[in-house]
């Protein structure tokens, strides 16, 4: 674990229902969107494949790709699941923010390659979530379910009027 003190498996243990929804949402499509921080501090948005293996969320990248170099320099990231075609978002919009921890241990990389089949060489990062958010529409309301380490998930509902958002939990 890095500075966040959490792993995907810790999130999954704390919030199994939200974690299952997020995993299912990421599993609907192969390609997703990764936001990293460029050297000048501006955001970089890149396509990426993300996968869940061994109880963790993983990102594999081509050697010396810009996104890999970004994460080596500044590990902060946001990962958005592909919303899919149309406007229904197939169960909601999900996002994982956190830190990327580069994994260089040959045994762990070999285990990952044996299961994922990724070509080598490549950069392998494990995601340490600092926030997980699911957003969906329920009738006339926008609903957000959000989790941060050390706190239970909470639900916020917001309508199309001027009334303030309502917290459910």
Q: What is the pLDDT of residues 63-104, one digit of tens each?
A: 999 999 999 999 999 999 988 776 666 678 999 999 999 999
Question: Residues 110, 62: contact at Cβ < 8 Å?
Answer: no
> Is the confidence at residue 113, as pLDDT, over 60?
yes
Alpha carbons 131 and 5: distance in angstroms, whole number: 12
90 Ramachandran zone, left/alpha/beta (phi>0; psi -120 to 50):
left
User: Model's pTM, two decimal places?
Assistant: 0.90
Contacts of 27 (CB under 8 A, 6+ apart): none
**What is each CA distance from 125 to 74, 89, 152, in whole angstroms?**
13, 27, 26
Average pLDDT over residues 38-64: 95
**Short-list 41, 86, 34, 96, CA closest to 65:** 34
């Amino acid at each position: 674990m890095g500075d966040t003190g959490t792993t995907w498996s810790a999130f999954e243990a704390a919030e199994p229902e939200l974690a299952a929804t997020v995993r299912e949402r990421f599993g609907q499509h192969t390609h997703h969107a990764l936001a990293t921080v460029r050297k000048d501090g501006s955001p970089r948005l890149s396509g990426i494949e993300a996968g869940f293996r061994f109880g963790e969320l993983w990102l594999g990248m081509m050697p010396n790709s810009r996104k890999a170099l970004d994460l080596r320099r500044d590990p902060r990231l946001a990962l958005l699941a592909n919303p899919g075609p149309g406007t229904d978002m197939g169960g909601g919009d999900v996002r994982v923010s956190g830190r990327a921890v580069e994994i260089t241990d040959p045994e762990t990389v070999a285990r990952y390659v044996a299961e994922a089949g990724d070509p080598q060489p490549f950069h392998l990062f494990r995601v340490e979530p600092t926030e997980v958010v699911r957003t969906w529409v329920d009738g006339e309301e926008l609903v957000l379910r959000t989790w941060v380490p050390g706190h239970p998930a909470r639900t916020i509902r917001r309508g199309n009027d001027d009334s303030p958002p309502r917290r459910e939990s």
